[in-house]
Amino acid sequence: MIELRNVSFTYAGSNRRVLQNLSLEIARGESVGIIGPTGSGKSTLCYLFNGLIPHHFSGKFQGEVLVSERNVMKETIESMSQIVGYMLQEPSLQIASPFVESEITFGMENFAVPVDKMDKRLNEIIAELGLEHLRYRATADLSEGEKQKVVLASILAMDPSILVLDESSSMVDSTSKNDLVKILTALKKQQRTLIIIDHDLDFLAKIVDRVILINNGSIIIDGATDSVLTNNRLLIKNGLIPPIFPDLFDIFQEKKLLDDPLPLSLESARKIVQKWLP
């Protein structure tokens, strides 16, 4: 469904190759987390999925990008946005409408969704994200976290078959973050393709099945979430801190006090303690 073949990219005006000969495949319905230190190329990589590179960011591009059998080079950003819902890391740049309600329906209107269907979807999404109190507000007057949620709502409203979220949870409070986990998990069950960049590895661990670690524009590892996010050595070597439970229990594995694999979820961490103290 998404295929990158030997992709390299250098931003115009820079002499550093930000993506270095990347190849990867993401199948329909997969949920993939993209992680890596600050400046490693995560956002740049995702710009390929809806044609922001090369259509918006100019530079030196090599390789081939196929999304839903389309060659992204030959498409426009508009045509790609029919398939790919994309949340930029700077959501304020993405707000197109003066009011929250019209912002959420903006995309649907562009895709000529019938009015009754649009209203239904609007109400659903507002309820799911808990945005009732913001419905009639001006988008310019929102708090940063509120903005992030409204942009997310406008993207989810379009029911994209591929969803790319770049740090969509960085400004939302802990309660909304849990809501987000529920919403994304539900989308996963509907076989949507999810590509999520997030520095919060604990958040990612709850959603995605596969994790790709990027550093200096290259793929360091690409594997199952359980194995990548508990690979403390590799994460640290690449400038990252392991998620909370692998980090807490690391020393127990080292001291051979742990028969089980390193826990990644709250549930598995509890189970280990229960075994120690029944």
Ligand X SMILES: Nc1ncnc2c1ncn2[C@@H]1O[C@H](COP(=O)(O)OP(=O)(O)OP(=O)(O)O)[C@@H](O)[C@H]1O
**Spatial contact of 274 and 253, defined as CB atoms under 8 Å apart:** no
- 248 binding another protein? (CB under 8 A): yes
Near Mg ion in 44-73, by CB under 5 A: none
Map tokens 């059998």 to a residue: 69
Give the separation between CA 129 and CA 180, rounded to whole angstroms.
8
- In angstroms, give the least distance from the CB of 166 to another protein: 8
Query: How far is CA 157 from each of CA 93, 124, 148, 180, rounded to the nearest angstrom?
Result: 18, 9, 14, 14
- In angstroms, give the least distance from the CB of 275 to ligand X: 37
User: Quick one: which segment of 40-48, 78-86, 98-106, 232-240 binds ligand X (CB under 6 A)?
Assistant: 40-48
- Answer for which of 64, 145, 185, 218 binds another protein (CB under 8 A) is 145
- 20 binding ligand X? (CB under 6 A): no
- 90 binding ligand X? (CB under 6 A): no
Binding map of Mg ion across residues 127-146, x = CB under 5 A, - = no contact: ----------------xx--
- Answer for which of 22, 32, 36, 160 binds ligand X (CB under 6 A) is 36
- 145 binding ligand X? (CB under 6 A): yes
- 215 binding another protein? (CB under 8 A): no
Nearer to another protein, 43 or 161 (CB): 43
- 242 binding ligand X? (CB under 6 A): no
- Answer for which of 109, 119, 173, 254 binds another protein (CB under 8 A) is 173
Angle (nearest 5°) at CA 154 between 117 and 92: 160
Nearer to ligand X, 109 or 141 (CB): 141
Query: How far is CA 207 from each of CA 1, 32, 59, 178, 254, rounded to the nearest angstrom?
Result: 20, 9, 33, 11, 28
- 149 binding ligand X? (CB under 6 A): no
Strands 84-87 and 162-166: parallel
Question: Own/partner pairs for 243-246, CB < 8 Å, 24+ apart?
Answer: 243/201, 243/202, 243/205, 244/202, 245/269
- 252 binding another protein? (CB under 8 A): yes
Near Mg ion in 18-47, by CB under 5 A: 43
Residues that bind another protein (CB under 8 A): 11, 13-14, 36-39, 43, 89-90, 92, 134, 141-146, 149, 167, 170-178, 199, 201-202, 236, 239-241, 244-245, 247-249, 251-252, 257-258, 265-266, 269-270, 273, 276-277
Residues that bind ligand X (CB under 6 A): 11, 14, 18, 36, 38-44, 57, 89, 141-146, 171
